[in-house]
A and B are shown apart, each in its own frame.
Chain A
């Protein structure tokens, strides 16, 4: 594809997104809560779309399609178990929202620090999130660089794709904080779902005459891809080790759990949850069909990651549709990156700088937070440009690494005996195990790092909490307030 087409599409996409960001910025007032949480005033529809765009990255149409290409329908089960993790929001969503509103929490780590009465816990949780999410952002950038370079046959240098994505993410996040991010995310979510649906219909009807034709072709040539464990990639242990950490994604990843603070009401949160579930079910189905189509049409690729670029290069996909898919994948990546850098900037502001300089005025804190938006984006860019193997390790380890925060979150709402020492120990030891097992390829009893980091962190949280003193007064006050407010809102 001509590089000029790609550049033109990206410029149009950037202009439309910037107009949306400027529109969103109109409602801004000064202050940390407004910049990072849009003053908790986001409506249900926009909440649903920003939640979807933040959660679904370039992984879906590239990574998940690739997993389907090499492993078959096990990828469908893996991704739907992740989607079903949203049942946790039915329990924790109102709790986050009520506690956030009452105590004015900006970040999930701030909530943990206050609930367990520990600055150290707040800082450690924030640092752990930064360590795992910067590489995760870098991998998104690498995906965009590789996609643009691949689709233009090298006419667009890898580095140019990285720079374009970083620039767009910084401009939109810096321009209007959460308001601009939420509204541009909404635009990007609509682009993602529309172009991916269109492209899959083109492939399925163009190459197979319809869905029946696709499944007949698979049954005839690749029947194993319709079963589990199928061709072997999704053996049961691999399936559990992959899916279990992702089930807790909505609580473990701060850029996602922070979105539980932003809806303007519980009604808006309901729209957010149900909207995301509908979006996720459709987007997952599309990504799986995309991968299965690639398997039936181009069966001899060396790697699953090549499935999407190779499919887009086929004659069955018109050039215009290929271009739109590229914009859709770029949108998916950028909407995830700018949400992460905004979330991490809020953590530096609230969880680190404010804790170390409690007397700093709010406008100065906000300036620090804004400065960190481009800083985090540029750090991710540097990581991505180095293409270190370590980045991929940390990115893959992010789901297992961030899982270690979940026991402390559950304890915050349900266990008065939980302590800061228990939470800190579980996060530090669990995080080290996640990194060590991932980096060293260690698999005790054949189970991957996500299983062990979860077991170790949950066990340590309970054992160390029982051996140390809990902040009884705060625990009593916090849990009593949340429970009485839940009753008022008829939430369970």
Chain B
């Protein structure tokens, strides 16, 4: 569990950091942020799909 927690935390840190920087420094912005949001939503979906009632 600890490993998963750290792995997902790093993943989210990277994609959120990219949302703060990529549209400004590498790019376009409209599409990048849209794709970023969809990737974040899918990631949350993967994590929460494993929850047990």
Contact = CB atoms under 8 A, between A and B. Distances in A.
A244 B51 CA distance: 28
Interface in A44-96: 73-74, 76-77, 80-81, 83-84, 86-87, 89-91, 94
A73 B29 contact: yes
B10 interface: no
A217 interface: no
Nearest to B4: A492
B1 A228 contact: no
B44 A239 contact: no
A364 interface: no
A490 B50 contact: yes
Interface stretch (A266-274, A308-316, A336-344): A266-274
A150 interface: no
B16 A81 contact: yes
Nearest to B5: A492
A80 B36 CA distance: 8
A227 B33 contact: no
Contacts of A28: none
A281 B4 contact: no
Contacts of B38: 281
Contacts of B45: 274
A76 B23 CA distance: 12
A76 B52 contact: no
Given A229-B24, A492-B1, A73 B30 contact: yes
A269 B50 CA distance: 12
A236 B24 contact: yes
A265 interface: yes
B52 to A, nearest CB: 5
Interface in B1-46: 1, 4-5, 8-9, 12, 15-16, 19-20, 23-24, 28-30, 33-34, 36-38, 40-41, 43-45
A126 B45 CA distance: 32
Contacts of B15: 84
Nearest to B3: A492
Interface stretch (A132-140, A384-392, A481-489): A481-489
Interface residues of A, number: 42
Q: Label chain A's interface by main secondary structure.
A: helix
A243 interface: yes
Contacts of B33: 73, 76-77, 80-81
Interface centre among A87, A273, A487 (most CB of B within 10 A): A87
Contacts of B28: 227
B50 A491 contact: yes
Contact of A281 (B29, B41, B53): B41
Interface centre among B12, B24, B33, B36 (most CB of A within 10 A): B33
A489 B52 contact: yes
Given A76-B30, A240-B20, A84 B40 contact: yes
B43 A265 contact: no
B48 A91 contact: no
A73 B45 CA distance: 26
B50 A228 contact: no
Given A239-B24, A274-B45, A281-B41, A267 B51 contact: yes
Interface string A223-255: 000111100000010011001100100000000
B37 A80 contact: yes
Nearest to A83: B37
A247 B19 CA distance: 12
Contacts of A91: 5, 8-9
Given A87-B40, A91-B9, A77 B19 contact: yes
A91 B43 CA distance: 12
A130 B41 CA distance: 32
A186 to B, nearest CB: 21
5 contacts: A229-B24, A269-B51, A270-B48, A281-B38, A491-B50
Q: Which 7 residue pairs across A and B have the least CB separation, nearest first?
A: A270-B48, A84-B40, A90-B47, A77-B33, A80-B37, A266-B51, A267-B53
Interface of A: 73-74, 76-77, 80-81, 83-84, 86-87, 89-91, 94, 226-229, 236, 239-240, 243-244, 247, 265-267, 269-270, 273-274, 277-278, 281, 483, 486-492
Given A73-B30, A277-B44, 5 more contacts: A81-B20, A83-B40, A84-B19, A266-B53, A274-B44
